[in-house]
Amino acid sequence: MNPKINIGEVRFSYLHVFSPRSSDGSEAKYSVSLIIPKSNTELVAKVKEAIRSAYEGGIGLYGGTLPPKGAWRNPLRDGDIEKPADEAYKDAYFVNATCKTPPGIVKPDPTGMSKFAKITDEQELYSGCYGYASVNFFAFNRSGNKGVACGLNNILKTRNGDFLGGRNSADSDFDSLDIGPAPAEDDIF
């Protein structure tokens, strides 16, 4: 069984959803890290239940016996333990979701013509934004590695957030400069 759920609202990090990316020479995939606050106990329980369902549904892949705790890869990871120096992961869990085909990327439609509008501008969705991700969890057993992985289906951006990874917005970088009023367009050229 491959449980499909919507995870959100979460913060997006290591966002590579407009073009696939390869790490360590592996197959290029679309990916995102979904940061889940530990305080959102309802969402954490929902994610744990979906993972448990995929784990138990994978018994056939595991040779008829479920691997014991610690002998299989759990996609729900603890940010305080695995990324203690990264403030974005403090007091949070995270799940890394990937896919081989482009995910759908939408936001609420600002025109009101439909419920959602497609995001095509890569500057509009970045590491640090908040939203929801449609994912599915599935069991795997490859080369002796057993566990549950997270597949990325679609992303819904709900709001902006501070850039992650040390990048600031242009407004925040230049806010303290006193450059006066903008020149008339004729004065620029």
Predicted structure pTM score: 0.86
At 78-94, the pLDDT tens digits run 999 999 999 999 999 99
- For residue 6, the cross-strand partners are 134
Q: In 3D, which of 101, 108, 91 has the Cα closest to residue 157?
A: 108
pLDDT of residue 72: 93
Q: What CATH number corresponds to the domain at position 18?
A: 2.40.50.140
Structural domain of residue 60, as residue ranges?
Answer: 4-188
Give the total number of structural domains in the chain: 1
Residues 31 and 141: beta-carbon distance below 8 Å = no
Tell me what the pLDDT averaged over the chain comes to.
Answer: 91
- Mean pLDDT across 141-155: 94
Distances (CA, A) of 131 to 57, 68, 174: 28, 34, 28
